[in-house]
């Protein structure tokens, strides 16, 4: 048998054959090939934001449709409603009657 990391011959006595000659070689091999292995198993995916047409890069399996929370339409509507309520409160504070002008 040959070590996967350094290529030295490994003596085999009994039981399961060893793949690495020692723990140091195992750690070096994992550091060297972990990123390559991870990218093969979890490739980058791309999509285009439905609101602003920006490119989205993500690694999870669920497809993203929006690049941020602010581009999400529910978030935009919530923000507009909050802003409207704030302006309405300010108008009431200065004495403007909002019930007649809806």
Euclidean distance between CA atoms 43 and 35, whole angstroms: 11
DSSP secondary-structure letter at 18? Answer: P
Counting every residue written for the chain, the total comes to: 102
| pLDDT greater than 60 at residue 81 | yes
Work out the burial of residue 4: count CB atoms within 10 Å of its CB; fewer than 13 is exposed, 13-18 middle, 19 or more buried.
middle
Average pLDDT of the residues in 70-92: 77
Domain residues of the chain, as ranges? 1-43, 44-102
pLDDT digits (tens, 9 = 90+) for 24-43: 998 988 888 887 888 788 77
Euclidean distance between CA atoms 28 and 71, whole angstroms: 43
pLDDT digits (tens, 9 = 90+) for 47-71: 888 888 888 887 666 677 888 777 7
Q: What pTM value is reported for the model?
A: 0.38
Euclidean distance between CA atoms 72 and 38, whole angstroms: 30
């Amino acid at each position: 048998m040959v070590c996967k990391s350094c290529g030295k011959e490994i003596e085999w006595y009994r039981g399961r054959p060893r793949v690495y000659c020692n723990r140091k070689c195992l750690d070096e091999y994992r550091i060297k090939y972990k990123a390559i292995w991870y990218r093969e198993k979890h490739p980058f995916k791309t999509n285009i934001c439905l609101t602003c047409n920006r490119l989205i890069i993500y690694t999870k399996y669920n497809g993203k449709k929006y690049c941020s929370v602010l581009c999400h339409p529910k978030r935009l509507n919530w923000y507009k409603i909050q802003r409207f309520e704030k302006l309405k409160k300010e108008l009431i504070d200065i004495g403007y009657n909002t019930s007649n002008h809806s």
